[in-house]
């Protein structure tokens, strides 16, 4: 059997191909890391410089902005407890709906003034909820229309009793149809 001879490296002074590729990969990796580091450093430097200028501009404009536009107050949520439970007759069957309601307002004092009238508010909402069509409430559009009707009902009561539109929105935090 004849043995195969391994290729002999050339003696021309050439380096093996593996070492030059390794050096090239290391050189590219170092250059890439250096480029990434420089770009991150430059970005942080420029953003830091821009923030100080923006803060100076904000301080100057802050006084003008306060007088120009009213600041919108944070939302306050008041949960109405216990949840509303109403029944329907739908195609000869007894159906039920449970609704948990939250009121969204912007002024706590006005909301406290409305809380005095909570029995009237609950009565109006129960009557409105019980007069709904069960099939309509099964659709998302029907639920949204019910929420808007509830908002209108609460806003009308608030306007009548307190003289202000206290509640911005009525939100359903839970709605169960059975």
Average pLDDT value for residue range 50-61: 53
What pLDDT sits at residue 141? 94
Distance of CA 150 to the CA centre of its chain: 23
Residue 168's pLDDT band, with cuts at 50, 70 and 90, is: very high
What pLDDT sits at residue 85? 93
Say whether pLDDT at 145 is over 90: yes
Strand, helix or coil at 104?
strand
Percent of the chain with pLDDT over 90: 42
Strand, helix or coil at 176?
strand
Residue 49's pLDDT band, with cuts at 50, 70 and 90, is: low
What's the CATH number for 76-177?
3.30.1130
Q: What is the pLDDT of residues 105-114, one digit of tens each?
A: 999 999 999 9
Least confident of 8-22, 115-129, 139-153, 161-175: 8-22
Cα separation, 149 vs 143, whole angstroms: 10
Contact 88, 97 (CB under 8 A): yes
Residues of 6-44 as b/e, b for ≥16 C-beta within 10 angstroms? eeeeeeeeeeeeeeeeeeeeeeeeeeeeeeeeeeeeeee
Average pLDDT value for residue range 106-126: 92
């Amino acid at each position: 059997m004849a043995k195969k001879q391994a290729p002999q490296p050339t003696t021309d002074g050439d380096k093996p191909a593996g070492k030059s590729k390794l050096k090239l990969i290391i050189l590219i990796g170092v250059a890439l890391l250096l480029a990434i580091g420089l770009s991150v450093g430059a970005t942080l430097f420029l953003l830091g410089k821009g923030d100080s200028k923006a803060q100076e501009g904000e301080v100057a404009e802050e006084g003008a902005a306060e007088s120009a536009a009213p600041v919108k107050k944070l939302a306050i949520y008041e949960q109405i407890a216990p949840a509303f439970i109403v029944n329907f007759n739908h195609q000869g069957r007894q159906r039920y709906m449970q609704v948990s309601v939250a009121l969204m307002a912007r002024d706590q004092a006005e909301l406290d003034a409305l809380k005095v009238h909570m029995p009237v508010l609950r009565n109006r909402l129960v009557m409105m909820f019980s007069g709904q069509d069960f099939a309509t409430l099964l659709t998302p559009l029907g639920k949204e229309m019910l929420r808007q009707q509830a908002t209108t009902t609460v806003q009308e009561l608030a306007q009548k009793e307190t003289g202000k539109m206290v509640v911005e929105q009525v939100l359903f935090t839970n709605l169960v149809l059975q």
